[in-house]
Amino acid sequence: MSQAGTIGGGGSGPLPPDVPTTFVTNSGNAIPAANILNILATDTTANNDNGINDTGAGNTVTILLTNRATNGISTVDGSTQNIITLPLGAAGTYMVYGNVQAFASSIPGSAAYSFSGAYRSDGVTATILGTEYHDTFQDASMSTTDIDLTATGNSAVLNVNGIAATNISWNALLEYRQVN
């Protein structure tokens, strides 16, 4: 048996448009302007158990990778430098984890670290729970570099330690989970 004719013929209601007219997000809607919709992505320290969220405004949808912070710095000496500070906010327990990479082109030398640690916050002061743990992968020329987690005020702080008279480029990713 053959089916010929118009699909949906005789049905009621308008046909949907050929191009979507509104993109609904978790927080607002985006409407294409001249059939152009901008899709952007960014990191945010905002807490979201799913680790991802989206917003819409004007003709832009923004994808948010939540519960994370990234940063890059350079060190030129052996001092300890803050690379990421994460404000903890409300009272609760916070688990932080991530990785750090380092490169010194003048040596040359490379290092990489993975880390994890935990904090308790009373909403005013952060307290480190136990000792942070990290894995270290280094060239011999980078054996004096290091990372550590500390607390300042009500913030979790990730620090890096360079080498005297050596320019080192650092890049870090810190992610967290929390319960209040």
Listed by start position, the domains of the chain span 23-65, 68-179
User: Which tens digit of pLDDT belongs to each residue from 1-17?
Assistant: 555 555 555 567 777 66
Residues 174 and 88: their CA atoms lie apart, in Å, by: 13
The pLDDT of residue 18 = 72
Question: pTM higher than 0.85, yes or no?
Answer: no
Tokens 């670290």 locate to 113
Residues 134 and 144: their CA atoms lie apart, in Å, by: 15
The pLDDT of residue 5 = 52
Residues 123 and 142: their CA atoms lie apart, in Å, by: 38
The pLDDT of residue 150 = 97
DSSP state string for 120-144:
EE-SS-EEE-S--EEEEEE-GGGTT
User: Which tens digit of pLDDT belongs to each residue from 15-69?
Assistant: 766 777 888 999 999 999 988 899 999 999 999 988 999 999 999 999 999 999 9
CATH topology of domain 68-179: Immunoglobulin-like (2.60.40)
